[in-house]
């Protein structure tokens, strides 16, 4: 599906890496041809009046567990990096190649190759062949690689391929079968719990190995105060480390679990209020590089169970935009930084020509009303499952129009 004719969006508030500026954006043959105050519609262009609303890059969702097009499109997501935890796992070039084509023509899906065969954490997979098949990164999946020797070889191999390694930071020896963070709330509820240090120890080891290997390392989720300190210090030393977080961990604390509702059963588990505040501070000071939805739709067979038996995960694609715009309204970050977190930075980590409004890049564009109010209602969600922890919560920010490679979606 190719762009049929050039179009120009006028009277827009353009979200650029330098800030939000008034102007227009013109797209031709699937790419951005002109942008800014001097951009003009030419004869034959389709002209779209933004009426002063935001025009931003399409969101790039780094680390989803399912391809869920209606939910992605509702949330302004034009690209999604798929975790290797599929059935079967993405540990062969043929599987990676299939996934790389699976979203077309109305979504880019960027597969993350399984770091080890079967995601077992023991034998490295054929990483170079999977890169050739379309993998944009390497991921350990929902598990942490406990064997330091295997992890070091993985990082060295990834450095040679210039691929980012996306890791899940949780020492399984400490975490075990825990479903909550050790502390007063878990004790009162009688839930199996693990100390937050299970994450901190994993982060410290992986940073040390990445520094040794000279590799690019991305922590899919960092959720503890000490974890942010470790990442902050590593960045100051020049280590090529980045980290992400999902909205649940900067919007909610373990207090949300007091009624045992399994939509709050997440991995990593919700943390203390102190950790939540540390997450917001880390977003504000630039320690956090990526905010992702963590989209992991789970049906009733996984969630209608006792809290300790329920599967972790949340359907997050539809609420990602609204949750990050909350940070803007709260004064934690500005609008430009918000779209760095959900578009520009993840695109750069994946090495794809998108994620920002700049000439020559792919015309993945979202027209957004940042003030449009709505109620998050799990019964009306576009996702394949309704396990959102934000059910019945008021939100602001809706996508009015979405273009992928210059082609309007839903038209």
Q: Model confidence over 202-238: pLDDT tens digits?
A: 999 999 999 999 999 999 999 999 999 999 999 999 9
Question: Which CATH fold topology does 7-54+364-408 show?
Answer: Urease, subunit C; domain 1 (2.30.40)
Q: How far apart are CA 169 and CA 139, in angstroms?
A: 11
In sign, the C-alpha dihedral spanning 303, 306, 311, 313 is positive
Q: How far apart are CA 404 and CA 411, in angstroms?
A: 12
Tell me the two tokens of residue 318: 């539809």
Between strands 31-36 and 46-49, the pairing is unpaired
Q: How far apart are CA 408 and CA 75, in angstroms?
A: 15
For the chain, what percent of residues have pLDDT higher than 70?
Answer: 100
Q: What is the pLDDT of residues 251-282, one digit of tens each?
A: 999 999 999 999 999 999 999 999 999 999 99
Of 334, 332, 316, the closest CA to residue 389 belongs to: 316
Domain map (residue ranges) of the chain: 7-54+364-408, 59-350
Question: Which CATH fold topology does 59-350 show?
Answer: TIM Barrel (3.20.20)
Residue whose tokens read 């949300």: 256
Domains 7-54+364-408 and 59-350 share a fold: no
Q: How far apart are CA 311 and CA 56, in angstroms?
A: 34
Residue 159 phi/psi, 5-degree rounding, is -65, -40
How many helices (H) does the chain have, and how many strands (E)? 14, 18
Q: How far apart are CA 20 and CA 219, in angstroms?
A: 29
Per-residue pLDDT of the chain (411 residues; tens, 9 = 90+): 788 899 999 999 999 999 999 999 999 999 999 999 999 999 999 999 999 999 999 999 999 999 999 999 999 999 999 999 999 999 999 999 999 999 888 999 999 999 999 999 999 999 999 999 999 999 999 999 999 999 999 999 999 999 999 999 999 999 999 999 999 999 999 999 999 999 999 999 999 999 999 999 999 999 999 999 999 999 999 999 999 999 999 999 999 999 999 999 999 999 999 999 999 999 999 999 999 999 999 999 999 999 999 999 999 999 999 999 999 999 999 999 999 999 999 999 999 999 999 999 999 999 999 999 999 999 999 998 999 999 999 999 999 999 999 999 975
- Are the beta carbons of 193 and 186 closer than 8 angstroms? yes
Of 235, 249, 329, 328, the closest CA to residue 286 belongs to: 235
**Local structure of residue 309 (DSSP, 8 states):** G
- Are the beta carbons of 350 and 110 closer than 8 angstroms? yes
Tell me the two tokens of residue 65: 């567990």
| 291 burial via Cβ count (<10 Å: 0-12, 13-18, 19+) | buried
Of 230, 175, 173, 225, the closest CA to residue 207 belongs to: 230
Of 63, 55, 67, 71, the closest CA to residue 13 belongs to: 55
Q: How far apart are CA 342 and CA 283, in angstroms?
A: 12
Report pLDDT for 411: 55
Tell me the two tokens of residue 293: 């939805």
């Amino acid at each position: 599906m190719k762009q049929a004719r050039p179009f120009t969006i006028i009277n827009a508030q353009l979200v650029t890496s330098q800030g939000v500026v008034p102007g227009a954006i013109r797209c031709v043959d699937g790419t951005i041809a002109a942008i800014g105050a001097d951009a003009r519609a030419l004869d034959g262009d389709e002209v779209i009046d933004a009426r002063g609303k935001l025009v931003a890059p399409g969101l790039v969702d780094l680390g989803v567990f399912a391809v869920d097009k209606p939910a992605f499109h509702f949330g302004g997501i034009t690209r999604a990096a798929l975790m290797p935890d599929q059935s079967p796992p993405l540990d062969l070039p043929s599987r990676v190649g299939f996934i790389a084509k699976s979203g077309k023509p109305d979504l880019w899906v960027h597969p993350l190759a399984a770091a080890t065969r079967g995601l077992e954490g023991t034998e490295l997979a054929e990483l170079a062949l999977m890169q050739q098949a379309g993998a944009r990164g390497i991921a350990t999946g929902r598990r942490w690689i406990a064997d330091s020797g295997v992890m070091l070889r993985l990082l060295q191999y990834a450095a040679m391929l210039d691929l980012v390694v996306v890791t899940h930071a949780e020492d399984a020896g400490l975490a075990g079968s825990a479903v909550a963070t050790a502390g007063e709330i878990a004790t009162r509820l009688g839930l199996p719990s693990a100390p937050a240090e299970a994450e901190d120890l994993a982060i410290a080891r992986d940073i040390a190995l990445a520094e040794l290997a000279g590799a690019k390392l991305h922590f899919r989720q960092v959720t503890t105060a000490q974890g942010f300190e470790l990442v902050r210090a590593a960045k100051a030393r020049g280590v090529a480390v980045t980290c992400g977080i999902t909205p649940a961990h900067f919007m909610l604390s373990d207090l949300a679990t007091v009624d045992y509702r399994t939509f709050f059963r997440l991995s990593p588990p919700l943390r203390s209020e102190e950790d939540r505040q540390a997450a917001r501070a880390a977003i504000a000071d630039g320690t956090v590089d990526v905010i992702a939805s963590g989209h992991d739709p789970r049906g009733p067979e996984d969630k209608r169970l006792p809290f300790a038996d329920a599967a972790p995960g949340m359907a997050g694609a539809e609420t990602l935009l609204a949750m990050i715009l909350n940070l803007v309204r709260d004064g934690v970050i500005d609008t430009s930084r918000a779209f760095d977190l959900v578009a520009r930075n993840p695109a750069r980590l994946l090495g794809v020509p998108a994620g920002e409004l700049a000439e020559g890049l792919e015309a993945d564009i979202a027209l957004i009303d940042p003030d449009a109010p709505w109620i998050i209602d799990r019964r009306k969600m576009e996702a394949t499952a309704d396990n959102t922890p934000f059910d019945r919560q008021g939100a602001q920010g809706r996508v009015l129009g979405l273009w992928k490679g210059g082609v309007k979606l839903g038209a």
